[in-house]
C-alpha cells in the first residue's frame, strides 16, 4: 500500500485536501469513513483503514441495506488516514467539488484484511452512526483501468429497504440541492428528500420479563439505577483450583476487563481502573443498547477473535491501536444489577442463570461466559491442554463484592506473568528507541525487586509509543533491588514503576531472573499498584543450598490428600481414582527404584481415559513433592522437567491425574549419559503374537553375539521391550548410533520379519524395531506403569524363561499384577544395575 498516487494527483499548495500526516496513525481503532462527494459525478467515497492508509472505493449510488442490491464500487487510490475528517470544498486539484462526511466509525473483519482484498472478497462489519452490520466487497470479473468491485449488504438483522440517500441529514440534502447542476445530480437531490428509514430492530427478551425474574432471585433488592463507575470484584492468584461442588470454574479470558452500566437507557463503559471506554467500543455500546433495557450493570472481559474464532490478546491490542481489525466480543460473566434491582447479594449461580437468559437473543458482540461446577483440577487441566491463559474459580453461592477476596480465585499457566516496568537499556543496532525494558515485581518489604529484562515481542506501534513516553529520561541509579550485576545493565536508565508488562518466560534462572522473557502485552488497563494488590509479592529470598535447589522436601505419601477418589478413571472397567492410587502404592517397592531421579513424562487423564489425556513433562502449579530439574531441550532452550524422587512424589502425580509414567534412559544428575537402550518391538496389525515372541528371542540372541545382556518387558500394548543396561553409560549420540545400526541390521538380515522405518505402509505384516526411544529426551514406558487403555493394562518385567507362557503384550493388568508380585520371590530384573557392559567395542563390530 502506498500514497504515491495520492501525492502525485494533488498540489497541496492549492488544494484543501490534507497531506499525509503520520500523527493520525496509532491513535485508536481502525476506522471507516464514507464521504459524500459532489464532484462532476456525485458519488460516495467508501474508505477502510488498512494499516497506514485508507483503502478507497467510489460508490456512485452509495451503500444499500438491501442484500439483493449489488452496488458498483470503483477502486481508487489509497488516501491518508488524515483524510477521514476532511469536509468542505475542493477548489483545485483532483476531484473538484464539495465533500460532506456521511458516516464514520470503526470496522472489523476476521482474518487478515489485506489478504482478503488480494483474494478479491472482503467480509467485514461496520459500526457507524448510519452504516451498521456485516457487508461484502467482491471484486468484479472484468479488468478495467480502475478495478471494479461490488459493495453488498449481508442478510443480517440490519438488512432492509434502506438506501444511502434515505439516511442523509438536512445539511447533506442541502449540499445535494446546491450541487444539482446536472440531470444526474438533480435526480439525486430529488431522491434525497425521501423519508429516512431505520433498519429493523434486533430480537430481545422483554425488559418486564427480566425485571420480574430479577425480583424473584434470593437476595435481590430494589435500588436506584446509576451509570457511574462501580468497582469490580477481583480474584486472588492461586497455584491450584479449589475443590468441591461449591465452586464453579470459568475460562480466564485473555483480554481487558470492562464494566458496563446503563441508566435511563444510556450506556457507559469503564475499564477496571475507572477509565471511560465508551468511545473506543461502539460495537459493544450498540449491542448493549439493542437489549432495550432501562438499567443494567454488566461485568466481563473484552476479547478479540482471530480467523478461527479463538481469543487472541495480541489481536486485541493491535485492533485497539488501529493496526488490525479483529472482531471484538464482550465476554460476560456477571450481572450485579438489572432493571431496578441490586443483585450483588444474589448467589452467583442465580445471577449467571439470569445473565444467560438475558443474552439468549443478544447480538454476537455480547457473549455468555459459561462455567463448570466442581472438578476444578480437570477444568484446569483442560485449560492447559487448550493453551488457555488459565481459569477463574468462584464460589457458586457468593455475592458480588468490590475488591479482592477469596471468593474468586485465578489459576494461571506458569508461562506468563505481569511485572512493573522500571527502566530501559539504550538502543542498539536497528532498534531506534530502546534496547529492552527492565522489569520488577513487588517484594514482601513493600519495595520492588529486579527480575530481568525483555527485549522481544514489541510491535512497531509499541516502540513508537514507548519511545515518546516511558523510554525517556531516567537515572543511572537503580530504583529497585537488584542482585548480581548484569553486564547488559551498564548504561541502563531506571524509572519509578509506572507501567505494567505481561511477559512469557521459561521459568526462573539461577539468579532469580526470568528465563527467555518475551513481551506478551503492555497492560494499559493495570497499574503497578494492581500487582501489589494481587498476591504477586515475591517471598523473602530463601537461603541457597547448593545440592537441593528446586528439590522439595521429602514427605510421607500419606500426606498426599486424594480428592475425588470415586471418580471413574477406566469407565469400561469401573476402576476409580482410588483404585489407581491403591495399585501404585502396592507396586511402589518394585516400580520406584527404576524410575526415581529420572526425568519423567506422565500421561495425565484428569477426567478419566474416556476424556482427553495429554503428556506432562514440565513442572506445573500445585506440585509440592516432585523433584524438578532444569534441562536443555533439543532446541537448545532450557526447561524445568519433573521427576519422581519418592513414593510421595509418585502419589502426588497420580492425584494430579497421572495414569502412565515414561522415564528417560538417564538420571537428572547426568542427563547426557544414557544407561539404558530400549528396543520396542511393535507388530503390525496382522502379526501373530507368536511371531512377536520369536522376534524378541531373536533380538536377544543377536545382542548376546555382541556380548550384551538384555532384559524383557511387556508394554501393556501389542508388543515387547528388549532393554539393554549400560554400565558405565554412553553419550546419547553413541547410543542412538548403536540402536539405529542394530535395528537396520535386523531388518537387513530378516527383511520379511523386521522393518526399521516408522512408515506404516512398510510395516504391514512385519515387526517394527523402534530404535527412536534412544535419544536425549525420548522416553519409554516404565515397568509396572499402567496404560491409559481399556482394561487398565500394565507394562510388566519378565524373566526370559516366562516369555513362552505370556499370551499377549497386554496380558497383565491392574488387578492381576499385585497377585503376581505376591507370588514372586525376587524381581525379574534382579541384578540389572550390576551388569557391567558398554557400547565402545560393540559399535566397532557393527562398523558404526
**Is-contact 672 734, C-beta < 8 A?**
no
> Checking DSSP bridges between strand 372-373 and strand 247-251, what pairing results, if any?
antiparallel
3-state secondary structure of 704: helix
Phi-psi region of 135 (alpha: psi -120 to 50; beta: other; left: phi over 0): beta
SS3 sequence, 552-565? Answer: CCCCCHHHCCCCCC
252 as an active site residue: the answer is yes
Provide the β-strand partners of residue 104.
33
Residue 160 vs residues 154, 197, 492, 564: alpha-carbon distances, Å: 10, 9, 61, 56
Provide the β-strand partners of residue 32.
48, 105
Task: Supply φ then ψ for residue 585, to 5 degrees.
Answer: -65, -40
Residue 416 CA to residue 558 CA, distance in Å, equals 33
> What is the DSSP-derived secondary structure letter of residue 35?
E
3-state secondary structure of 179: coil
To the nearest 10 degrees (0 to 180), the angle between helices 170-178 and 183-191 is 160
- Segments in 404-527 forming alpha helices (H): 460-468
Sign of the Cα torsion 403, 404, 409, 412 reads positive
Buried residues in 113-131 as b, exposed as e (16+ CB within 10 A) = beebbeeeebbbbbbbebb
Map grid coordinates 514406558 to a residue: 781
Residue 161 CA to residue 422 CA, distance in Å, equals 57
Residue 846 CA to residue 837 CA, distance in Å, equals 16
Residue 833 vs residues 506, 639, 830, 836: alpha-carbon distances, Å: 35, 29, 8, 8
Sign of the Cα torsion 274, 279, 280, 284 reads positive
To the nearest 10 degrees (0 to 180), the angle between helices 348-358 and 207-215 is 170
3-state secondary structure of 579: helix
Residue 660 CA to residue 658 CA, distance in Å, equals 6
Q: Given 3-state DSSP classes, what are the helix, strand and coil percentages for the chain, each rounded to the nearest 5?
A: 25, 30, 45
- Other Cβ atoms within 10 Å of 759 Cβ, number: 8
Burial of 423 (0-12, 13-18, 19+ CB in 10 A): buried
Chain centre distance of CA 489: 32
Instruction: State yes or no: cis peptide before 728, omega within 30 of 0.
Output: yes
Listed in sequence order, the residues at least 6 apart from 801 whose beta carbon sits closer than 8 Å to its beta carbon are none
Residue 797 CA to residue 713 CA, distance in Å, equals 4
**Is-contact 210 245, C-beta < 8 A?**
no
Residue 138 CA to residue 147 CA, distance in Å, equals 11
Task: Please pick, among 61, 252, 394, 520, the residue that the annotation labels catalytic.
Answer: 252
3-state secondary structure of 429: coil
Residues assigned a catalytic role: 252
Amino acid at each position: 500500500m502506498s500514497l504515491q498516487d495520492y501525492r502525485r494527483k494533488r498540489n497541496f499548495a492549492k488544494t484543501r485536501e490534507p497531506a499525509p500526516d503520520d500523527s493520525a496513525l496509532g491513535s485508536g481503532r481502525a476506522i471507516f469513513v464514507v464521504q459524500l462527494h459532489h464532484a462532476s459525478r456525485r458519488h460516495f467515497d467508501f474508505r477502510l483503514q488498512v494499516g497506514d492508509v485508507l483503502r478507497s472505493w467510489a460508490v456512485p449510488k452509495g451503500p444499500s441495506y438491501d442484500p439483493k442490491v449489488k452496488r458498483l464500487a470503483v477502486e481508487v487510490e489509497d488516501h491518508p488516514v488524515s483524510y477521514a475528517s476532511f469536509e468542505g470544498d475542493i477548489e483545485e486539484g483532483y476531484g473538484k467539488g464539495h465533500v460532506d462526511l456521511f458516516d464514520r466509525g470503526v470496522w472489523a473483519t476476521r482474518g487478515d484484511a489485506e489478504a482478503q482484498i488480494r483474494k478479491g472478497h472482503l467480509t467485514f462489519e461496520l459500526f457507524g452512526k448510519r452504516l451498521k452490520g456485516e457487508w461484502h466487497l467482491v471484486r468484479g470479473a472484468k479488468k478495467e483501468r480502475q478495478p471494479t468491485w461490488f459493495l453488498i449488504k449481508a442478510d443480517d438483522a440490519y438488512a432492509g429497504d434502506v438506501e444511502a440517500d434515505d439516511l442523509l441529514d438536512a445539511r447533506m440534502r442541502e449540499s445535494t440541492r446546491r450541487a444539482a447542476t446536472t440531470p444526474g445530480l438533480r435526480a439525486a437531490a430529488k431522491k434525497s428528500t425521501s423519508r429516512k428509514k431505520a433498519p429493523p430492530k434486533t430480537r430481545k427478551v422483554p425488559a418486564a420479563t427480566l425485571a420480574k425474574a430479577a425480583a424473584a432471585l434470593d437476595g435481590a433488592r430494589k435500588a436506584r439505577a446509576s451509570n457511574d463507575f462501580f468497582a469490580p470484584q477481583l480474584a486472588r492468584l492461586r497455584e491450584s483450583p479449589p475443590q468441591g461442588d461449591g465452586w464453579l470454574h470459568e475460562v480466564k479470558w485473555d483480554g481487558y476487563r470492562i464494566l458496563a452500566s446503563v441508566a435511563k437507557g444510556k450506556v457507559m463503559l469503564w475499564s477496571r481502573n475507572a477509565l471511560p471506554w465508551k468511545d473506543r467500543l461502539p460495537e459493544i455500546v450498540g449491542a448493549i443498547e439493542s437489549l432495550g433495557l432501562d438499567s443494567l450493570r454488566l461485568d466481563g472481559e473484552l476479547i478479540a477473535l482471530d480467523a478461527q474464532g479463538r481469543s487472541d490478546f495480541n489481536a486485541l491490542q493491535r485492533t485497539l491501536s488501529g493496526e488490525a481489525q479483529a472482531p471484538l466480543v464482550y465476554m460476560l460473566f456477571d450481572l450485579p444489577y438489572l432493571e431496578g434491582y441490586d443483585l450483588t447479594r444474589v448467589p452467583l449461580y442465580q445471577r449467571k442463570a439470569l445473565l444467560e437468559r438475558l443474552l439468549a437473543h443478544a447480538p454476537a458482540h455480547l457473549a455468555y461466559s459459561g462455567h463448570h461446577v466442581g472438578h476444578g483440577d480437570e477444568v484446569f487441566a483442560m485449560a492447559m491442554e487448550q493453551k488457555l491463559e488459565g481459569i477463574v474459580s468462584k464460589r457458586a453461592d457468593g455475592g458480588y463484592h468490590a475488591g479482592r477476596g477469596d471468593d474468586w480465585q485465578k489459576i494461571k499457566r506458569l508461562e506468563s506473568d505481569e511485572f512493573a516496568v522500571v527502566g530501559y537499556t539504550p538502543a542498539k543496532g536497528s532498534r531506534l528507541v530502546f534496547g529492552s525494558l527492565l522489569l520488577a515485581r513487588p517484594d514482601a518489604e513493600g519495595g520492588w525487586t529486579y527480575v530481568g529484562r525483555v527485549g522481544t515481542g514489541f510491535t512497531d506501534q509499541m516502540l513508537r509509543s514507548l519511545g515518546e513516553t516511558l523510554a525517556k529520561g531516567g537515572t543511572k541509579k537503580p530504583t529497585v533491588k537488584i542482585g548480581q550485576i548484569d553486564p547488559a545493565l551498564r548504561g541502563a536508565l531506571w524509572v519509578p514503576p509506572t507501567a505494567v508488562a505481561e511477559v512469557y518466560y521459561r521459568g526462573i534462572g539461577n539468579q532469580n531472573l526470568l528465563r527467555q522473557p518475551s513481551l506478551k502485552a503492555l497492560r494499559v488497563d493495570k497499574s503497578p499498584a494492581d500487582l501489589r494488590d494481587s498476591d504477586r509479592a515475591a517471598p523473602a529470598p530463601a537461603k541457597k543450598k547448593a545440592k537441593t535447589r528446586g528439590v522439595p522436601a521429602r514427605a510421607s505419601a500419606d500426606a498426599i490428600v486424594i480428592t475425588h477418589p470415586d471418580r471413574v478413571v477406566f469407565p469400561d472397567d469401573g476402576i476409580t481414582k482410588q483404585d489407581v492410587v491403591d495399585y501404585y502404592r502396592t507396586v511402589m517397592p518394585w516400580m520406584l527404584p527404576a524410575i526415581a531421579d529420572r526425568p519423567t513424562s506422565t500421561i495425565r487423564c484428569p477426567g478419566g481415559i474416556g476424556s482427553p489425556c495429554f503428556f506432562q513433562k514440565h513442572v506445573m502449579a500445585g506440585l509440592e513433592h516432585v523433584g524438578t530439574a532444569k534441562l536443555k531441550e533439543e532446541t537448545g532452550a532450557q526447561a524445568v522437567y519433573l521427576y519422581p524422587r519418592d513414593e510421595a512424589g509418585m502419589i502426588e502425580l497420580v492425584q494430579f491425574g497421572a495414569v502412565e509414567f515414561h522415564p528417560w534412559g538417564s538420571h537428572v544428575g547426568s542427563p547426557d549419559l544414557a544407561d539404558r537402550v530400549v528396543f520396542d518391538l511393535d507388530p503390525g496389525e496382522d502379526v501373530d503374537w507368536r511371531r512377536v515372541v520369536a522376534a524378541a528371542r531373536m533380538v536377544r540372541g543377536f545382542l548376546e553375539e555382541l556380548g550384551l545382556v538384555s532384559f524383557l518387558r511387556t508394554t501393556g500394548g501389542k508388543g515387547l521391550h528388549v532393554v539393554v543396561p549400560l554400565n558405565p553409560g554412553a553419550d546419547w549420540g553413541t547410543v542412538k548410533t548403536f540402536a539405529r545400526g542394530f535395528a537396520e541390521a535386523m531388518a537387513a538380515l530378516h527383511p520379511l520379519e523386521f522393518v526399521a522405518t516408522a512408515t506404516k505402509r512398510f510395516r504391514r505384516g512385519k515387526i517394527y524395531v523402534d530404535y527412536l526411544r534412544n535419544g536425549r529426551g525420548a522416553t519409554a514406558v516404565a515397568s509396572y506403569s499402567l496404560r491409559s487403555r481399556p482394561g487398565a493394562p500394565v507394562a510388566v518385567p519378565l524373566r526370559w524363561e516366562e516369555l513362552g507362557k505370556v499370551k499377549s503384550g497386554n496380558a497383565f493388568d491392574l488387578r492381576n499384577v499385585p497377585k503376581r508380585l505376591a507370588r514372586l520371590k525376587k524381581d525379574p530384573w534382579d541384578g540389572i544395575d550390576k551388569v557391567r557392559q558398554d557400547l565402545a567395542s560393540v559399535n566397532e563390530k557393527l562398523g558404526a
